[in-house]
Chain A
Amino acid sequence: SQQGEEDPQALSIQEGENATMNCSYKTSINNLQWYRQNSGRGLVHLILIRSNEREKHSGRLRVTLDTSKKSSSLLITASRAADTASYFCATEGGSEKLVFGKGTKLTVNP
């Protein structure tokens, strides 16, 4: 069964606004990763946060991790139309496998 569950399933915002997506998971993890998928394309890695980290930044991306609540959030600040994509969280729990959630579809309107 899938590990991560993203929330919301879909999000529509205006350009310049911030977008926040959440991910919840069920079991202990070593790290949590976020990926982006543009329509009709493969997934692209965005950012990785390890279980002993609480927050990471990369450009306009901010990721938080709360292991006590088994949840993570991805914040995209000052969104652009080019940020329109689906965003997936993925968890790694010590095996060779990375388990993905069902994704959040983000639409940024110009």
Chain B
Amino acid sequence: NAGVTQTPKFQVLKTGQSMTLQCAQDMNHNSMYWYRQDPGMGLRLIYYSASEGTTDKGEVPNGYNVSRLNKREFSLRLESAAPSQTSVYFCASRDRLYSGANVLTFGAGSRLTVL
């Protein structure tokens, strides 16, 4: 199984450009998440989707939009990139190990640099 696949792995943008990070999972998980990781900040939740057709804001949603295209795919869009969005982005999906528990499976990450 591929698990959670993110594309692209690396991207350099200029300020004001737009781009979409793609994420797909093949584990039939219901919930999907986008986190960003910055040095010294740990992981911060941007958006999540509890099920197909629903999305909710996390801790740092400003400057981002998401689309839950179907059960497998959850994309993150930067409409007008800013240097503050330089980060490593992780997509994750949820495996229900125990009733009511969230155990996340992560992708390998997408490193984005905004100049």
Judge whether B48 and A30 touch: CB under 8 Å: no
Contact with A along B44-71 (1 / 0, CB 8 A): 1100101000001011000000000000
The number of chain A residues with a CB under 8 A from chain B is 26
- Interface range on chain B (Cβ under 8 Å from partner): 20 to 34
* Chain A residue contacts of B94, Cβ below 8 A: 96
Known contacts A41-B109, A42-B90, A42-B109; A92/B101 CB under 8 A: yes
Judge whether A42 and B106 touch: CB under 8 Å: yes
Judge whether A48 and B90 touch: CB under 8 Å: no
Task: List B90-115 residues whose CB lies under 8 Å from chain A.
Answer: 90, 92, 94, 97-98, 100-109
Contact with B along A68-110 (1 / 0, CB 8 A): 0000000000000000000010101010111111110000000
Q: A20 interface residue, CB < 8 Å from B?
A: no
Interface residues, chain B, with chain A CB atoms under 8 Å away? 4, 31, 33, 35, 40-45, 48, 50, 56, 58-59, 90, 92, 94, 97-98, 100-109
Known: A50-B98, A100-B43. 9 other contacts (CB 8 A): A42-B4, A42-B106, A43-B92, A45-B103, A48-B103, A96-B56, A97-B58, A98-B33, A102-B42
